[in-house]
Structures are given as structure tokens and as C-alpha cells.
Chains A and B, each alone.
Chain A
């Protein structure tokens, strides 16, 4: 298994090569980060089927804004910051959509039928009950607590890395983790199950 330092060095090589006129070098970044970004998007978006588009948009944003990356920094916190900001923006838009939308049942049916022919990456029926409950528990959390929990507990970033990605103090990361855990215990161990 590659060490984190080795991965960081490969990232920087790929970024530099891309910036020097070899866009194909960005493939290293895409292949390395598509799985983790997909997982991040899947757990942070309330509509998990949007995760695939979100990953494409995040990587495209990173690609188009690569010249803004400071080469003396680690690449992955920069990419994660873009990702979290993009996912927040999608969630804001989704919440607004529930109140404001052009209503057109006919086209929606068309879109849904075409999409279903292609196979939905998220088949609710195939999710195990435990995973469904775990996702429900995540969805009970406030957005900022969920971000911290997903990055630290599921994506296995260090507290310092979470702090860097989200731009919040490490103490706040720990506080949010604590609150997330308590909220999920209340959900899973609460009295509503009996």
C-alpha cells in the first residue's frame, strides 16, 4: 500500500504535469479520487443518485481551476474543499427546489423513465436495512456535523485534515464529532423503536 507521502507526491506530479501542458496527467487524479469523492457525495447529499453528476462536476471544477492550486500545499485537502463547497451548494439548491420549482409532470416522467433504463446507481431496494438506517441516522444530523462525521469517521481523514478541508479549528471538529455521535445514538437507541 502506498504511503500518504507517496500519494501526495504523485498528486503534485500529476498537477504539475497538467499545468505544464499535459492534461492527460490529470487522469491520475481522476482515477484516484473518483471513488472517494463518489462516496463523500453519496453520504452528504440527501439525494444519493446525484452523486455521480456531483463527482463529475467537482473534478471538472478542479481541472478548470488547477492554476489556482498552490503547488507547495497538499493537493487532496484542496480538492476536498472544492468538493464540500460544491456539495453544500447542491444541497442548498435542492432545499430551494422543494419550495420553488417549475411544475411539469410530463417531462419529469420522461426523464425518470429514461434514467431508469440506464440503471440507477442507488437502488433503495437493494440497500441492506442496516445501511438504510445508518444513512437515516446521518440524515438526522445538522449539515456541519454530518460533514465532519463523514470526513473523519467514514472517509478516515485525520482531525487535522478535516479541520484544513472545512476551514474550522480542530477543537470544533472534535465538538462536532461528539455532537454527531450523540445525535445518532439518540436516533438508534431512542424510545421510538419499541
Chain B
């Protein structure tokens, strides 16, 4: 178990990177507490797998350092970092039994047989695979195979960090939920630092205490699931997290206020941006109210998603989504949109540019 520090990490797959666009990972600075559960969330190609491979040592960063408990491990190979990694597809040793699979990492490290037996018994019980220990691993179902590859990581008691690289990709939907709660439970029991890479917001938000959102090789925000939802630090976070994502509307700053379609919009706190290009207003559909007064918009679609209705309305050429519990407006009708001021913020060039409300 260890505290993990990433210092000024940059990585490029090109031998001679010139511009920032040549970097798959641009400047990452993170500090992860010992024993925490973290998620790296972002779309495909955002650099999260690159970051993961750098932490595990499969990849050496072009610049920067990785510290485990303050010790520089940047140059160490994976097997000397005491890490465990679970891959997208279950990696198991086909010809071995479940027991031999679990014993493999310990045997390679010369652990005594009685210790191996004890650890396997513990882990097998935790993963609920005790009754399969003597079966050939090749015959297991995908979810059990994935549990087994997790087990090979957890069986070592010296692991600094367990990393998961989109581990639920090949798992059936109804088992995903089960395996996810299993993971959460394991985290509470083994108390190892865990890093979970995914592009699925539900997986990230349910698993992690803290989520690191990445886009185009950059960390855009680090926060608890609640923080990411309530106060997105970047329009990308607002967009990526939430269903539907945050409304991001072009706006103008003048006369000390923010204007959308020439209507003054009240926002959470003082705006820190200068008037100019790239000014946007961000408000989540959950905080858009349909009322008698406000910004007029024409309803173009209403979808019932079960717990609530998602209303999409056109304010001029801008589509705005709103979540309401009813009554359902009729398609083609004009509604008035009100943005809840304490949840409405100004963004400049994508980044949050509104101070917190004085409370």
C-alpha cells in the first residue's frame, strides 16, 4: 500500500515531440492517498491507459516522476513496483487450475508454500471462488475469469496499488453491477490503493472516492462524484458526466452580468473571466426549470426515461435540455426556461470562471 505521487508527468509516443499535440499525456500532477479508491475517467484516447501503464511501469514517461510513498520508482520495472493490474480482457493462465493461477505470482516471488496456501484460501473466500479452486481456469465463465485475474493481484499482501483497466468490458450487464459491488467490498477489506480506469461514468462514480477526469491528455478535474456533478470545473466534465450532460450555451459578458440570447442570466458568484470570445454558460438539465417566465424556447422532444422526463427545447438555434417531473409539455409548444442561479456558472474557454457563492 502506498501513497502515489505523479510529478510533472508528460508522455509522447513520438521520439521527438515538438508541440503539445504530440503528447498523449500533457502535464499530469496528482497526489493519491494511501488506501484510496480512485477512478480515471475519460473518453477513448484521452490518455488514461497511457497514464495507467506509466504507473504500472509498462511504459516509461518522457518526462516527470512517479513516487510511491515518496520513493522515486520511475525507472523500476513492473515486477519491482509491487503493483497489480487487471486488464480489459481477463488474463488467465489457461493450462493452470484456479489455485495454480492464484499461486503463480507468489511462487515467482519465492513465497513459502504454507503462506501461499493461506493467502489463496483467504482470497478465494473473498472472491467466492473456493469451490472452483481445483478446476481448470480455461473453463471458467468470463466474470469468474476476471475475478481470477483480480485475485492474482490481490493475493500478494505487498501490493502498493491495484489498477483496473476497464475491467468490466467483457462482462454481461447483469453481472457488471455484482462485480462492481464486489470490487467496492474488496477495497474495504484489503485497503489497498486502487485505481480504476474507465470511460463509463456510472462505473467511475460508484467505485471511486475521487474521480480524475481526463480529456486529450490533460486532467481537467479531480473531485468526488458529488463535486463533479454539482460543480464541473470544465464544460467537458459537465458534458461527460450526467445524463443528459450539462447544457453549455454561448454567452456574452457585459454590464457586469452574463447574457444568453440577450437575457440576463443570474449565476452562482462573481465572474472571474474577461469579456471576449469563448464565454459560455453551463447549467445542468436538473437545474433548468420550466416556468411561466424566463427564456422562451420551443419544445422539440420529450422523452420519458422512467423516473423523470427529459425535455429538449430550442431557444433560437440552441438546444437546451431540462429535466422535469411533469406535467409533460407538448411538442411544438413554447415554454419558458429558468436557470437555477446557484447552479448556473460562466465558463471561459471551457474552464470554470465563476466563484463559489458566499455562504
Chains A and B bind each other: no
